[in-house]
A = this chain, B = another copy of it.
């Protein structure tokens, strides 16, 4: 048993970085396509301020659509809840995993969630009990594991401090996020190794971007170190809206292809996943970003 967990973040980290704003209905339909392709871990949205991130507006309606577990056997929903206000919006909706979001640098935390790192840790510390009472798992992102868009190189010690704080407050899983796409395998592996001196590898996930073409190499490097939980984004969705064609998150299909060809079953059907990717690309009126998607498209 390889314990592989692949989390599709395209409905959240993907769509929130695209310039077009989709209706909750379109987002639900897309998530249904991902589910039909065999994806079972899906970050379906984010309860952030819709004024700041209009792409994620009405995420409640998306969560609502996936309340009936009998309709979607095996589905694990992930929702980003950046503060107590977001938690209030959940009301009596059920979410399998609630995601917290801090960073290795104050500049990024402030730009992203409007709090310093310490403020965010205090905020999340107070949210652990209410989230657990709701019956949700907690997954905590530490962004900027190697690079920060504002501060450049990040001191791994800062990342370890955030990680330790999350660990101590009792989150179930930590996700190390390489946010800028600038980190290469030697760098991401070095931070992961520091992390694994503190935590069991099965409680650590990795979230890589492919902006500079390093995402899959970083994923394979982390796998070699014992990491088994990876974020990916179907179609490589999530590039910068001002840079058509520029890479977003590492493409889930390229991760699946790599693992399946290595003999690790993912339970995800590549063909169906690529159909979902193409449908979304059409909706967003842009080409599918991943090399694999483009190659398969050209073949067909």
Pick the residue among B210, B245, B251, B262 that contacts A186 (CB under 8 A): B262
Q: Judge whether B210 and A291 touch: CB under 8 Å.
A: yes
Q: How far is the CA of A183 from the CA of B261 in the complex (A)?
A: 8
Pick the residue among B214, B245, B258 that contacts A294 (CB under 8 A): B245
Contacts of A181 in B (CB 8 A): 295
Number of copies: 2
How far in angstroms is the closest Cβ of chain B from A248? 10
Contacts of A183 in B (CB 8 A): 261
How far in angstroms is the closest Cβ of chain B from A278? 13
How far in angstroms is the closest Cβ of chain B from A78? 24
We find that the number of chain A residues with CB closer than 8 angstroms to chain B is 40
Contacts of A262 in B (CB 8 A): 184-187
Q: How far is the CA of A221 from the CA of B218 in the complex (A)?
A: 11
Q: Judge whether A295 and B247 touch: CB under 8 Å.
A: yes
Q: How far is the CA of A48 from the CA of B14 in the complex (A)?
A: 45
B interface footprint on A84-102 (CB within 8 Å = 1, 0 otherwise): 0000000000000000000
Contacts of A291 in B (CB 8 A): 210-213, 246-247
Q: Judge whether A298 and B258 touch: CB under 8 Å.
A: no
Q: How far is the CA of A224 from the CA of B283 in the complex (A)?
A: 41
A263 within 8 A of B: yes
B interface footprint on A260-300 (CB within 8 Å = 1, 0 otherwise): 01110000000000000000000000010011101101110
Q: Judge whether B257 and A292 touch: CB under 8 Å.
A: no
Q: Judge whether B298 and A257 touch: CB under 8 Å.
A: no
Q: How far is the CA of A240 from the CA of B184 in the complex (A)?
A: 28
A70 within 8 A of B: no
B interface footprint on A119-130 (CB within 8 Å = 1, 0 otherwise): 000000000000
A131 within 8 A of B: no
Q: Judge whether B213 and A251 touch: CB under 8 Å.
A: yes
A165 within 8 A of B: no
Q: A184-B258, A186-B262, A217-B258 are in contact. Are A212 and B295 (CB under 8 A)?
A: yes
A79 within 8 A of B: no
A254 within 8 A of B: yes
A37 within 8 A of B: no
11 contacting pairs across A/B (C-beta < 8 A): A181-B295, A184-B261, A184-B262, A186-B262, A212-B254, A214-B257, A216-B216, A243-B297, A245-B287, A245-B294, A246-B291
Having A214-B258, A246-B291, one finds 7 other A-B pairs with CB under 8 Å, namely: A185-B262, A211-B292, A212-B292, A243-B295, A245-B294, A246-B294, A246-B297
